[in-house]
Amino acid sequence: MSTLSDKLKVPGDFWGGLASTLVALPAAVAFGVTIYSAISPQYAVFGALAGILGATALGLIASTFGGTDRLISAPCAPAAAVLSAFAIELVNQGVAPASIVLMLTVLGILTGLIQILIGFLGVGRLIRYIPYTVVSGYLSGVGLIIIGSQIPRFVGTSANTAWWRAAVNPALWDTRSIAIGAATVLVALLAPKITKAIPSTILGITAGIIAYFVLANTDATMMTLTDNPLVLGSLGASSEGYIGTIIGRWYDIGELKLSQVAALFGSALTLAALLSIDTLKTCVVIDQMTRTRHDPNRELFAQGLANIASSAIGGIPGAGIMGPTMVNLSSGAQTRVSGIIEGLLVLIVALVLSNFIAWIPVATLAGILIVIGLRMIDTKPLNFLESRATVFDFAVVAVVIGFALTVGLIAASAAGVALSILLFLREQVGGSVIRHKTFVSQRSSTWYRPEAEMRLIAQKGDKAVIFELQGSLFFGTTYELYSVLEAEIKTRDYIILDLRRVLSVDITAAHMLNQVRDMMRDRGMPLLMSNVREHLPNGNNLLEFFKQTELIDATDAVRVFQTIESAIEWVEHKLIGDIELPVETEVALNLQEMNLFQGRKVETLTDLEARMEQRTVKAGDSIYSIGDQERELYLIRRGVVRILAPIGGSRQLHHIATFGRGDFFGGLAFLDDHARGDNAIAHTDIDLFVLPLEQFNQLAEDHKKLAFLLITAISRTLAHRLRHADGERTMLHV
């Protein structure tokens, strides 16, 4: 694996890191202020510092240990939503502010540890299977939570004021704050329509600061940092007290009881799940845009490590987030070094511009978060209301949003997944597991039989029914399938179940098939099954599963065939009375005994036989192969021949036909001037009559009538086979 220095792509990684810094830093400060302001307005400055430290640690560590190129990790909206709600809950319980800060630190560390555990256990690959409706509702729910949490700061009331109380009580509003916030929101929303060269977040913050100083010209109190509720105030990033605060916080953590830490586990699990989803969702988007593939478990390990480090130094946790990542990608970044550059630049910019950051209005940060919240709301599910087929999917989105706003984000995700599963089951139960129902009279095996036998099979073929099954055989579809099979058992002698398109089978379906087997056994007939695969798409072994459930045992109550054609072949033998003789007792036919020459004069056939070569081929040997140029017609005196050919452009050969005693093969290459398109293999020891084209041409000169009759018989048989094949193909496409 190449080192980071080997992979550095200048200047793309630098410009990508710089551009993403301009987006991630203001948002990180805003998220930090949101969380810590929930503790007390005086803690807003600590929140700004926590956001900066979080963006630095996440950028450096997640990019170093992660494997996804161009991914930018920083504090994010889900973290702000969960942590601010957690802080508000502790405030309502009367917990001291210093203790709340301590709990936030421990919560962040636990979150990182859980993410590392998730990555180590390989659970990361499962998160990608969360339904779109759940992700949509979750994002919209978080967006609404973010917007609601910023309304008090936007209108200039106390951060502890409920959003709905702040929204409906104009007496609490500060018109200066509203003007500053409105300028920020309007510019941030309209900027992308005017220019994309500068991130809208930067333009929105610039507009808010300009609005602040315009108003400050008429209000002298706005020109001071001390006791000014409209701005962040001094960060104190270089204060010696910061190191002492962190050391003291770690000392207090050491004094915590195990029960206190365990009480945080539920919130940590919630936050870890949300941050993991946010990260992997962004990674999937990167994969789609760059045609790469990320390692979800490695990425979760890196994110967990970064969140532990961030919380340990007083920062807030985060995830791989969409906004800065897209800016990083569009600015020319090529590798994960751009994420490390972003982390370094966040720290440098914060140190150099700490005095400037102190003058950022609180309403401006609230306005930026409101814009972020608005952009997180997914309006596409509204289109689901236009069709009855998708109205239930909209209901899932609505339930997730409702749970997110009233109960919690993890409960919202759980409710959404549960509803999605119910909708999936509903669709599965509503769809039929029977793809096709046909009869042996409508389909044939790969065995080409004489016309007399084909007529007999056509007459008796409705005694054998074929069911091609599809999808999942589980408790939701068992009753429907059993009802159909029960009715057929009363009127059919043979039932063939083809499982080639079956994706999974559960224990309930296996029990139902046991009942069907027993009913067939009571009639003295076996249940026939084909394509009982050992490797299903879900990785299960269906053949082994049927043995474990005792569906398949040592008796012949269930006969298993490799292909549907071999199952049909077995039924055909039964329908025509097993008239085929065992191979070892077969007697080689003469020409006059073959259906092709019945009714011809012996002397004429004697002349034809003299022009033929008699050939014996051992079982397993090749008679001809794909590409061979020999133009010969083969007539089977004794034995069985199988024809193998590629299907659908695949190089793999498939068994497509079987010819037995008295039949012929090789007719197409004999009639046209093309090379062989298939392989002919002796399935048993065989005796053949072989007629080369050169000998046939001489026969045509001496016995024109015999040659004409031979070609007519061959063409008639080939036409019959083609008509039968076309009929089957048409029937299968219905």
- Using the predicted structure, report yes or no on whether residue 3 has a pLDDT greater than 60: no
- 240's tokens: 């010696």
Do strands 632-638 and 686-692 pair parallel, antiparallel, or not at all (unpaired)?
antiparallel
362-376 and 200-216 are packed helices; what angle lies between their axes, rounded to 10 degrees? Answer: 150
Question: Minimal CA–CA distance to 616: which of 688, 555, 679, 513?
Answer: 688
Q: Give CA separation, 640 vs 609, 665, 715, in Å.
A: 21, 11, 22
Amino acid at 305: L
Give the residue extent of every domain in the chain.
9-378, 431-575, 588-732
Q: What is the pLDDT of residues 353-365, one digit of tens each?
A: 777 877 888 888 8
> Strand, helix or coil at 197?
coil
- CB-based burial of residue 195 (10 Å sphere; 0-12 exposed, 13-18 middle, 19+ buried)? exposed
Please give the order of strands across the beta sheet that includes 679-682: 447-448, 653-659, 641-646, 679-682, 622-624
Q: What is the pLDDT of residues 168-209, one digit of tens each?
A: 888 889 899 999 999 999 998 998 888 877 777 778 888 999
CB 85 within 8 A of CB 93: no
- Using the predicted structure, report yes or no on whether residue 732 has a pLDDT greater than 80: no
Do strands 527-530 and 558-561 pair parallel, antiparallel, or not at all (unpaired)?
parallel
Tokens 């899932």 correspond to what residue? 396
Tokens 């339904």 correspond to what residue? 131
Q: Which residue has the higher pLDDT, 483 or 15?
A: 483
Q: How many CA atoms lie within 13 A of 381 on its CB side?
A: 23
Task: Taking residues 111-139, report their average pLDDT.
Answer: 81
How far apart CA 318 and CA 300 sit, in angstroms, is: 12
How far apart CA 307 and CA 310 sit, in angstroms, is: 5
CB 431 within 8 A of CB 411: no
> Strand, helix or coil at 538?
coil
pLDDT at 728: 54
Task: State the pLDDT confidence band at 6, using cuts at 50, 70 and 90.
Answer: very low
- Using the predicted structure, report yes or no on whether residue 4 has a pLDDT greater than 50: no
The pLDDT > 90 percentage for the chain reads 21
- CB-based burial of residue 484 (10 Å sphere; 0-12 exposed, 13-18 middle, 19+ buried)? middle
Kindly indicate whether the domain formed by 431-575 is annotated with CATH number 3.30.750.24.
yes
How far apart CA 177 and CA 150 sit, in angstroms, is: 12
Task: State the pLDDT confidence band at 129, using cuts at 50, 70 and 90.
Answer: low
Tokens 């702000």 correspond to what residue? 80
Average confidence score pLDDT of the chain: 83
- 597's tokens: 């020459």
Contacts of 643 (CB under 8 A, 6+ apart): 446, 655, 656, 657, 658, 659, 665, 678, 679, 680, 681
Do strands 447-448 and 653-659 pair parallel, antiparallel, or not at all (unpaired)?
parallel
DSSP string of 317-376? -EEE-HHHHHHHHHTT--STHHHHHHHHHHHHHHHHTHHHHTTSBHHHHHHHHHHHHHHH
Q: Give CA separation, 347 vs 24, 40, 60, 267, 477, in Å.
A: 12, 25, 10, 29, 59
How far apart CA 338 and CA 9 sit, in angstroms, is: 9
- Using the predicted structure, report yes or no on whether residue 1 has a pLDDT greater than 50: no
Q: What is the pLDDT of residues 82-109, one digit of tens each?
A: 898 888 888 888 888 888 888 899 999 9
Q: Which helix (H) or strand (E) holds 470?
A: strand 464-473
Task: Taking residues 303-316, report their average pLDDT.
Answer: 93
Q: Which helix (H) or strand (E) holds 634?
A: strand 632-638
How many other C-beta atoms can be found within 10 angstroms of the C-beta atom of residue 182?
16
CB 562 within 8 A of CB 530: yes
Q: Give CA separation, 22 vs 78, 194, 521, in Å.
A: 20, 18, 75
pLDDT at 369: 79
How far apart CA 482 and CA 469 sit, in angstroms, is: 12
Return the top range by mean pLDDT from 138-142, 221-225, 410-414, 630-634.
Answer: 630-634
Kindly indicate whether the domain formed by 588-732 is annotated with CATH number 3.30.1360.10.
no
pLDDT at 184: 92
Q: What is the 3-state secondary structure (H, E, C) of 222-269?
A: HHCCCCCCCECCCCCCCCHHHHHHHHHHHHHHHCCCHHHHHCCHHHHH
Question: Minimal CA–CA distance to 324: which of 38, 62, 11, 49?
Answer: 62
Q: Report the sign of the C-alpha dihedral through residues 337, 340, 346, 352, in that order.
A: negative
CB 209 within 8 A of CB 188: no
Q: What is the pLDDT of residues 16-63, one digit of tens each?
A: 888 788 778 888 888 898 898 888 877 888 888 899 999 999 999 999
Question: Minimal CA–CA distance to 445: which of 576, 586, 597?
Answer: 576
pLDDT at 427: 65
> Strand, helix or coil at 579?
coil
Task: State the pLDDT confidence band at 579, using cuts at 50, 70 and 90.
Answer: very low
CB 188 within 8 A of CB 200: yes
Q: What is the pLDDT of residues 513-571, one digit of tens each?
A: 999 999 999 888 999 999 998 888 777 888 999 998 889 887 888 999 988 888 988 98
Q: Report the sign of the C-alpha dihedral through residues 104, 110, 116, 121, in that order.
A: negative
Residue 622 has phi, psi (to 5 degrees) of -85, 140
- Using the predicted structure, report yes or no on whether residue 601 has a pLDDT greater than 60: yes
CB 560 within 8 A of CB 554: no
Query: Looking at beta carbons, which pairs linking 91-97 to residues 24 or more positions away fall under 8 Å?
Result: 91/38, 91/39, 91/160, 97/39, 97/40, 97/43
- Using the predicted structure, report yes or no on whether residue 498 has a pLDDT greater than 90: yes
